[in-house]
Chains A and B, each alone.
Chain A
Amino acid sequence: MPISHLSHWGLLVTGDPLLYGADASIILASVGIVFVLTYFKKWKWLWREWLTTVDHKRIGIMYLIAAVLMLFRAGTDALMMRTQLALPNQHFLGPEHYDQIFTTHGTIMIFFMAMPFIFALMNIAVPLQIGARDVAFPYLNAISFWLFFFGAMLLNLSFVIGGSPDAGWTSYAPLAGLHFDPGPGENFYLLSLQITGIGSIATGINFLATIFKMRAPGMTLMKMPLFTWSIVATNILIIFAFPALAVALALLLIDRIAGAHFFTIHAGGLPMMYINMFWIWGHPEVYIVLLPAFGVFSEVVATFSRKTIFGYKAMVSSMLVISVVSYFVWAHHFFTMGGGVSVNSFFAVASMLIGIPTGVKVFNWMFTMYRGRIRMKMPMLWTIAFIPCFVLGGASGMMLAVAPVDYQFHNSYFLVAHFHEMLIGGVVFGMFAALYYWWPKVFGFILDEKWGRWAFWFWNIGFYVCFEPQYALGLMGMQRRMYTYPSGMGWTALNFISTIGAFLMGIGFLVMAGGIVYSIFKGERDLTGDPWDGRTLEWSLPSPAPHYNFAVIPTITDRDQWWTLKEQGKQDTLRPRPEDIQPIHMPKNSAKPFLIGVAFFAAGFGFVFNWYVLAAAGLFCIVILLLVRSFEYHSDYHIPVDEVVHTETALGRL
Chain B
Amino acid sequence: MAAIVEHTHGRVEHDPRPVEYTVKDDSLKIFGFWLFLATDMILFATLFATFVVLRTHVATGPSGHQLFDVQGFIEETFILLTSSFTGGMSTFFMRRGSVRGTVGWLLVTAVLGASFVTLEITEFLHYVSIGATMQTSAFLSAFFTLVGTHGAHVSLGIVWMLAIVIQLFRYGITPATARRVFIVNLYWHFLDVVWVFIFTVVYLTGVMM
Contacts and interface: CB of A to CB of B under 8 A. Distances in A.
Is any CB of A less than 8 Å from a CB of B in the complex? yes
Interface stretch (A298-306, A565-573, A627-635): A627-635
A157 interface: no
7 contacts: A201-B39, A214-B5, A215-B1, A251-B50, A260-B134, A269-B57, A277-B49
Contacts of B25: 636
Interface stretch (A2-10, A92-100, A204-212, A404-412): A204-212
Interface magnitude class on chain A? 35 or more
A177 to B, nearest CB: 13
Contact of B35 (A217, A239, A266): A239
A475 interface: no
A480 interface: no
Dominant secondary structure of chain B at its interface with chain A: helix
B39 to A, nearest CB: 5
Contact of B46 (A243, A260, A270, A633): A243
Contact of B39 (A242, A273, A623): A242
A268 interface: yes
Interface string A211-243: 011111101000000000000000000011111
A114 B83 CA distance: 44
Interface string B45-77: 011011001100111110000000000000000
B60 A280 contact: no
Given A215-B3, A269-B57, A205 B135 contact: no
Nearest to B148: A254
B12 interface: no
A627 B135 contact: no
Contact of A209 (B35, B57, B142, B164): B35
B2 interface: yes
A249 to B, nearest CB: 11
Contact of A270 (B2, B53, B61, B136): B53
B29 A280 contact: no
Contact of B136 (A247, A262, A267, A553): A267
Interface stretch (A133-141, A414-422, A538-546, A592-600): A133-141
Contact of A251 (B32, B58, B136, B145): B145
B5 A133 contact: yes
Given A136-B5, A209-B32, A277-B50, A243 B42 contact: yes
A259 interface: yes
A650 interface: no
A587 B3 CA distance: 15
Contacts of A260: 134-135, 141, 144-145
Interface in A603-646: 623, 627, 630-631, 633, 636
A270 B31 contact: no
A585 interface: yes
B176 A633 contact: yes
A208 B176 CA distance: 22
A212 B38 CA distance: 16
A615 to B, nearest CB: 15
A193 to B, nearest CB: 15
Given A242-B39, A258-B135, A268-B58, A585 B5 contact: yes
A270 B3 contact: no
Given A136-B28, A217-B2, A630-B180, 18 more contacts: A133-B4, A136-B5, A136-B31, A136-B32, A137-B29, A205-B32, A205-B39, A215-B1, A239-B35, A240-B42, A241-B42, A246-B43, A267-B61, A269-B138, A553-B3, A584-B6, A587-B5, A631-B163
A302 B60 CA distance: 64
Nearest to B177: A633
A131 B60 CA distance: 62
Nearest to B33: A205
B195 interface: no
Nearest to B167: A631
B203 interface: no
A268 B138 contact: yes
B188 interface: no
Contact of A268 (B1, B59, B164): B59
B3 A261 contact: no
Closest 3 CB pairs of A and B: A268-B57, A268-B138, A585-B6
Given A132-B4, A206-B32, A214-B5, A247 B59 contact: no
Contact of A248 (B46, B54, B61, B176): B46
A623 B159 CA distance: 10
B169 to A, nearest CB: 12
Nearest to B46: A247
